[in-house]
Amino acid sequence: MCLKGLIALLQFTTVIPLGKPVDLSYFAKWLYLYPIAGYLIGGIAAVIVSVIDARPLAAAIALGSVLLLSGFHHFDGLLDLGDALMVHGDREKRVRALTDRQVGAGGVGLGLIATLIAFAALLSTPLTGVVILAGEVSAKVGMTMLSIFGRPFKEGLHAFLHQHTKTWFMVPALCFFLPLVVVLSWTVVVVAALVTLITAALILHLASRMFGGVNGDVVGAANEIIRCIVMVTLVVMLYR
């Protein structure tokens, strides 16, 4: 049932209490619904900052809201990726750094960089709500792409989701960009979609080279990276 898939999606991607846990297999079969979580998380953040006039405060609360609503789940993946990127050695050492529970200087550094750039992007525009919404939707489309095309290098949650995906899932996932034309121009939305796809493809390539594939940490990190890059792109385009 699509409803069960939607509930499973929101239970997986947010900390919003939605009753008894639904089997994640329902979400796996409807994985192209990922962007709906982006609309919900980004939409809540946009509504909150719509009543805040102070731009620095709005930027901080917008970014803090999306991180908090997602339970910092994807941010944790970003920290793990940061540690793995700083490893000098073979693939086995990089995978070990990616999958362990400790956070080192690489993780802290990448987390700080992504957070500072995202905050600066939101601080640079009066359209804080629109930018955070578009960034969050883009991030979830990117996660869909990695879930579909990211070959798992180990058993785990990503491997479970990946085995249920179909290539055609990308078509309805990309269609979720269309509602953004209500708040952004067609040109800006198309560029956001292209940036999302290019960034996701680069992350897929990097993960394949470094780890031999993708796991849940890489997918989570992609959410944070894509959101950040798309928001920067939007701000640059809106203030050309």
Distance CA 180, CA 184 (A): 6
Please work out, in degrees rounded to the nearest 5, the angle formed at the alpha carbon of residue 104 by the alpha carbons of 137 and 217. 35
What's the whole-number mean pLDDT along residues 70-78? Answer: 91
Is the pLDDT reported for residue 2 higher than 80?
Answer: no
Is the pLDDT reported for residue 6 higher than 90?
Answer: no
pLDDT of amino acid 168: 96
What's the whole-number mean pLDDT along residues 198-205? Answer: 97
Is the pLDDT reported for residue 26 higher than 90?
Answer: no
Percent of the chain at pLDDT > 70 equals: 99
What predicted TM-score, i.e. pTM, was given to this entire model? 0.94
Is the pLDDT reported for residue 240 higher than 80?
Answer: no
pLDDT of amino acid 181: 95
What's the whole-number mean pLDDT along residues 173-188? Answer: 95
196-203, long-range: CB < 8 A, 24+ apart: 196/138, 196/139, 196/141, 196/142, 196/145, 196/226, 196/230, 197/142, 197/145, 199/142, 199/225, 199/226, 199/229, 199/230, 200/141, 200/142, 200/145, 200/146, 200/226, 201/145, 203/142, 203/146
pLDDT of amino acid 225: 97
Tens of pLDDT, residues 109-163: 999 999 999 999 999 999 999 999 999 999 999 999 999 999 999 888 899 999 9
